[in-house]
Amino acid sequence: MEQNKVRTYILYAVGEILLVMIGILLALQVNNWNEKRNSELKTQEYYSQLLDDLKSDREFITLTIGDLSRKLSDYEMYISLYSSEAALTPDQVYKQISQLTLISNALTFNTSTIESLQNSGDIRLIPSTIRNRLIDLKRLQNLTITRFEDIDDGANRVTQKLSTLIGATTLPARLERQTTMKEFLSIDENLKELILVYEGIHRWKEVSFRETIGRLEEMTEDIDGIVELINMELDK
């Protein structure tokens, strides 16, 4: 009888232990499920933010390529003047080249989400196929900005020379009715240097624009590829 009691107690104790273990396992399973669910929700939120950033960058790139292409087209039209059989005069050349745009818009990209992923360590939530593409894209964006700014700085240094020869680019037009000031400043005597300076500036810009357009087109392909991969993940 005592043996039966002992056996009963042992079975009861084992049952209690099993119930506790099952409870712990269930709690761990629920906790793991919750963590997995939270990670999935967080990842989906990051995907949404990335898609917004990439869409914005894609639109900006399209506009920028269009703007740079128009400026290159204007420059090529100026260059085509030299193919004319008619003899060009300094005034004609200066008039045409001085009408080309000197100002370049800054390049900016939306990198806040990828930077947040990297800084927080949440980049691990993103599959390596997408993660590596995002990192490569950010590297290309930084390189494009750096190269564009470096070449633009070179053009700006040449532009400083222009300001010593002509003052403001609007000054010649203002002097048209001011003969005394026009004679005093003798800007026309600087036409040779002015044309050469303008030539230098726009040559710098041509190199910059062509290089930048090439990188932006590469960037567009990268963005389209990343968007496709993200949408595939969201459709799972």
The token duo for 142 is 């930084």
- What pLDDT score was predicted for residue 7? 66
For residue 13, pLDDT beyond 90: no
Q: For residue range 106-117, what is the model confidence (pLDDT) as tens digits? A: 899 998 999 999
Is the four-CA dihedral 78, 79, 84, 89 of positive or negative sign? Answer: positive
| Residue boundaries of the structural domains of the chain | 39-234
pLDDT of residue 34: 65
Region 8-36 average pLDDT: 70
Residue whose structure tokens are 């003798």: 186
pLDDT in tens, 206-228: 988 999 999 999 999 999 999 99
How do residues 37-56 score in pLDDT, each as one tens digit?
777 788 899 999 999 999 99
Question: Do residues 213 and 135 make contact, with C-beta atoms less than 8 angstroms apart?
Answer: no
